[in-house]
Structure 1
Amino acid sequence: MAGNAAMAATPPGQTLANANACMGCHAVNRKLVGPSFQQIASKYKDDPQATAKLSQKIKRGGAGVWGSIPMPAHPSMSDANIRVLVDWVMAGSPAK
């Protein structure tokens, strides 16, 4: 029962980040291999194209924006799930 309550409190974007190995390279509030999700939100906060740019980066992968270590592509992640993940990141990645 406690496990179900914890899952219910976890934002959907964080659940997707956990399920798709995002947390192996990114953390909510500190740099790991890649930037923190909060750093990403800060960098793109005033960019009206942020959702499209980040969605494309998740789907296709890439390198060079944050350094030379490439981000792997996630071509099998649905566009709907990518949008949930990007919305969570852009909201400042609140962890519950």
Structure 2
Amino acid sequence: MNTEKITSIAAPLVLALAVGAGALWPLQADASLALAPKYACVACHQPATKVVGPSWKDIGAKYGDGKGTAAQLAASIKAGSSGKWGPMPMPPQAQVPDADLQALAQWLLDGAK
């Protein structure tokens, strides 16, 4: 096959893959938003208001923009913590599957939108 023929086949394929990946992004965000009530995160956390724990917005501001990774945040959620946001401890969430922890953490870092 000559280079021109490969390029003419590859370019539309790359474009289709990019468009397809972009179309899936809202589905991933919706799935992450659905995970918050599924695992009762909403009992202590809300989008913009501190309840028992910090708001999703505050978590994103503290750890987003390269200040932390989704893997670090997921590990913190799984293990629980104390003293990061005040005296109220975050209980461990070891029952949440790692894939869901990762999705929730990335969603928070992306601004919980």
> In 1, Cα distance between the equivalents of 2:41 and 2:109?
15
For residues 51-95 of structure 1, give each alpha carbon's deviation from its aligned partner in whole angstroms, at most 9, with x where no partner exists: 23211111111111100101111112111111111111111111x
> In 2, Cα distance between the equivalents of 1:62 and 1:13?
22
Runs of 4+ in 1 over 2 A off after TM superposition: 46-50
> In 1, Cα distance between the equivalents of 2:111 and 2:35?
15
Report SS of the residue matched to 1:86. Answer: helix
1:58 equivalenced with 2:77 (yes/no):
yes
Map 1:12-91 → 2, pairs under 5 A: 12-91=31-110
Q: Which range is displaced more, 61-70 or 46-55?
A: 46-55
Deviation at 1:32, TM superposition (A): 0.7
Q: For 1:93, give the aligned amino acid.
A: A
Give percent identity, aligned residues only.
36
Under a length normalisation based on structure 2, what TM-score does the superposition of the two structures give? Answer: 0.69
Please, which runs of 5 or more residues in structure 2 have no aligned partner? Answer: 1-26
Q: Which has the higher contact order (CA 8 A, sep 6+)?
A: 1
Deviation at 1:16, TM superposition (A): 0.8
Please, which runs of 5 or more residues in structure 1 have no aligned partner? Answer: 1-7
